[in-house]
Structure 1
Amino acid sequence: MSDTDLRDIEALNARTSDGIAVVTGASRGIGAAIAGRLGADGYTVAVHYRQDSTAATDVVEKITAAGGTAFSFAADLAEPDTGTAFWASYDAAAGALRDVPVRVLVNNAGIVVNGVIEETAAEDFIRQQQINTTAPFLIIKAALPRLADGGRVVNVSSGATRVPIPGIIGYTMTKGALEALTLPLAQHLGPRGITVNAVRPGTTDTDMNADWLRGNSEAMATIVAQRALGRVGGPADIADVVALLASHDARWITGQIIDATGGERL
């Protein structure tokens, strides 16, 4: 692709957000916030979920109530053929929109298996690896023919890759692999004008962390004390960073790991 072609693509992206933004694990938490923000930015949002159709429908309804466009689709990322099955489910839900280019792909879905290495069962580790690392790889691979030139891929990693937390050692390993994918993929897709970046959230006030964080003043105080910005982050804090990377303004940023922890343990 010539420099002129790339400039034409960048000019198109500057004028419009026309196209699809696919967000995995978008029925709750950070994923739901990303979906809502991208919907507000003008994308038609494909809200992926595994089994909670009610929560996914709620995300879609909130986007449409705000004047946006969205639809939901289900896919189990633990399945070995997830790349093929994911996009088959997407096509079935998208209908006529299946021919609209995918301009943004956000790999947000993930699970956390708690435990130090001695406590981590092999089957739990393998399932976590499949969902957090293998699935994004296969989803991206299968997406390449439908991903628009000048598009965006954003991988959601974790601040745990920078700050050691032995109690989620397997999770950290999977997110480290996702970061390792980001740099060579950015190089590989650069000739198409596609940027690839990763975002590292810190501990965030979501339903996934509700059991040990919400209402636990000691845990809250510990986290706040470790952050330069002096508070616990919320889903919108992460969604806004992802939206920036998905925007035309970030057209010259690729192959980067963006820390979005609020300055954890600086």
Structure 2
Amino acid sequence: MHRCWWRQDFGKVNVRGCPLLDLSTIIKTIFSSSHCKTTRIYSKQITDRSISTMNTSRVRDQDLAGKVAVVTGASRGIGRAVALNLASRGCSILGTCSSTENIAMINSLNQEIDTIFEGTARKQKITILGISANILSPTCAKTITNTLVEHFSSRVDIFINNAADGRDAALGELTVEGIQESLISNIQTPVLIVEEFVKRKMFQPEGRIIYISSIRSRQPWSHQLMYSAGKSAGESLCRTWSQAFGGKEEEFSFMAGTTANSVTVGLTQTDSIMKCPPDALEDFKKEFFPLQSSPRFGQPEDVADVVGMLCSRDARWITGQVISASGGGVKIG
């Protein structure tokens, strides 16, 4: 019963910074009309599993000022939420999408950031740029690096590999083309992007590499064999990158202190999920909700806040890890 509000101590209550008070006094205060109203509202929010998370578009500490992040798949969903999180902390963004039609969705982040900073003494001194760089294209990595040279002074501090190929393909129906495209999208292209950043020495010291993985890497489904395999491979890539780029190997000393982690994402309310037929959505709920500590759809912002935390300097001692952002659906450790 509201244990986060106090700590019981043999009939007394230790309120931080206050002397011990009678328990009866505290109880009367908590259950006054104003507190009861708050409690009822909070309880309703917990009960309503369809409720969205709090709007996280806000001015944050400018701990990423002067940094540059590359976010693939930044036009919508998790990628866009991550880009907004980083930009609101002073980070410039190069966001990619699969087609020119979606570039405007990335560039519109400029207006959203302007709105966030309105009425504050802080000024927006960042660049947000969207480009078309399809992860199936063999030129994807070079398109990104060439844009960094032209618009971002040839530097990258943060790389978020979010874009992926999550197509369904039932066992017995796999094709050579489908297998190859899945491998290219989920493994080959992320590797080539990091390779270009390393070869051109674009990565800065204490950089961040974050691979967006999936709950499917641990809870497989026969209709997503290649997707599950690709995400598992992505987690392995991060373990190797973390070993190489942390500062032990002299040839990568220019980016010493760089961390590499993957974030395994659970059932999240993205466009691709919500476009599924109603019966498929119900099946997902039945599969995942019982496993989750918080039985609801995750929001892109839920994941973005976890990714954003890993991008901070406070997370400098976390590397080579898989972090679960699944409401408890995947418990690692």
Instruction: Classify the TM-score, shorter chain.
Output: 0.7 to 0.9
2:261: which partner in 1?
Answer: 197
Q: How does 1:1-266 map to 2 (within 5 A)?
A: 17-51=65-99, 52-67=102-117, 68=124, 69=126, 70-92=128-150, 94=151, 97-99=152-154, 101-144=155-198, 145-191=201-247, 192-212=256-276, 218-219=282-283, 221-222=285-286, 223-264=288-329
Distance (whole Å) between structure 2 residues aligned to residue 215 and residue 152 of structure 1:
39
Instruction: Report how far residue 83 of structure 1 moved.
Output: 2.2
- Amino acid across the alignment from 2:291: Q
Kindly indicate whether the alpha-carbon contact (under 8 Å) linking 1:117 and 1:169 is maintained by their aligned counterparts in 2. Answer: yes
Name stretches of at least 5 consecutive residues in structure 2 with no aligned partner.
Answer: 1-61, 118-123, 248-255
1:117 and 1:170 in contact (8 A); partners too: no
The code of the aligned residue for 2:72 comes to: T
Superposition deviation, residue 216 in structure 1: 7.1
Taking the aligned partners of 1:219 and 1:23, their CA distance within structure 2 comes to 31
Deviation at 1:217, TM superposition (A): 6.8
Moved more, 198-207 or 43-52: 43-52
Deviation at 1:81, TM superposition (A): 3.4
Misfit runs of 4+, over 4 Å: 213-217
Structure 1: stretches of 5+ with no match in the other structure? 1-13
Number of positions where the alignment pairs a residue of Structure 1 with one of Structure 2 = 249
Structure 1 residues 165-219: Cα deviation after superposition (integer angstroms, max 9, x where no partner): 1111111111111111111110000101101110000121000111226797734
Distance 1:215 1:170, change over 3 A: closer
8 Å contact from structure 1 (residues 241, 260) kept in 2: yes
The aligned residue for residue 34 of structure 2 is: none
| CA deviations over 1:9-51 (Å, ceiling 9, x no partner) | xxxxx96532101111101110000000011122111111121
Larger radius of gyration: 2
| C-alpha contact 1:74 1:89 (8 A) present in aligned 2 | no
Q: Percent identity?
A: 29
Q: Which is bigger in relative contact order (C-alpha 8 A, separation at least 6)?
A: 1
Normalising by the residue count of structure 2, what TM-score does the alignment of the two structures yield? Answer: 0.70
Aligned-residue CA RMSD (Å): 2.1
Residue 259 of structure 1: how far off its partner (Å): 1.1
AA paired with 1:132? Answer: N
Distance 1:221-1:138 versus aligned 2 partners, 3 A rule:
closer
- SS of the aligned residue for 2:275 comes to helix
